[in-house]
């Protein structure tokens, strides 16, 4: 989407929407991770990380599959809660 389109609030072009949707679908088809397995993976990840970093925000973990040029990526975004520091 170009700068001008963004400025005038024009909708994203449908071809771009199509390409993004396809990339997601294709990588999921290939990796064969069902939504159930994805949820399980997130739960396992948060359990492991919590052993080292107690402030992990288990409910906010995002795991996404991304299609890359040469390899696909399993990307995890693991937010940590900010706790007020003790003096």
Partner 1 sequence: MSRVITITSGKGGVGKTTSTANLGTALALQGLKVAVVDADIGLRNLDVVLGLENRIVYDLVDVVEGRCRLRQALIKDKHFPDLCLLPAAQTRDKDAVTADDMIALTNQLRAEFDYVLIDSPAGIEAGFRNAIAGADEVLIVTTPEVAAVRDADRIIGLVEAFEKGHPRLIINRLKPRMVSRGEMMSIDDVLQILAIDLIGVVPDDELIVTSTNRGEVAVLDRNSRAGRAFAEIARRLAGEDIPITVFDDSSGLLNRIFGAFGIRPRGSER
Binding positions for partner 1, rule: CB under 8 A: 14-15, 17-18, 21-22, 24-25, 29, 32, 34-36
| Cβ–Cβ < 8 Å for 75, 69 | no
**Closer to partner 1 by Cβ: residue 42 or 56:** 42
Q: How far is the CB of 38 from partner 1 (least distance, A)?
A: 10
- CA–CA dist 87, 84 (Å, integer): 9
Q: Which of 2, 26, 24 is nearest to 13 (CA)?
A: 2
**Closer to partner 1 by Cβ: residue 54 or 62:** 62
| Cβ–Cβ < 8 Å for 13, 4 | no
- CA–CA dist 68, 71 (Å, integer): 5
Q: How far is the CB of 57 from partner 1 (least distance, A)?
A: 23
**Closer to partner 1 by Cβ: residue 17 or 80:** 17
Q: How far is the CB of 83 from partner 1 (least distance, A)?
A: 34
């Amino acid at each position: 989407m170009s700068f001008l389109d963004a400025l005038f609030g024009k909708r994203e072009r449908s071809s771009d929407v199509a390409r993004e949707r396809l990339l997601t679908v294709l990588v999921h088809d290939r990796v064969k991770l069902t939504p159930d397995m994805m949820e399980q993976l997130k739960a396992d990840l948060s359990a492991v990380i919590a052993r080292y970093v107690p402030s992990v925000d288990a409910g906010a973990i995002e795991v996404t599959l991304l299609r890359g040029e040469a390899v696909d990526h399993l990307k995890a975004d693991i937010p940590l809660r900010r706790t007020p520091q003790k003096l």
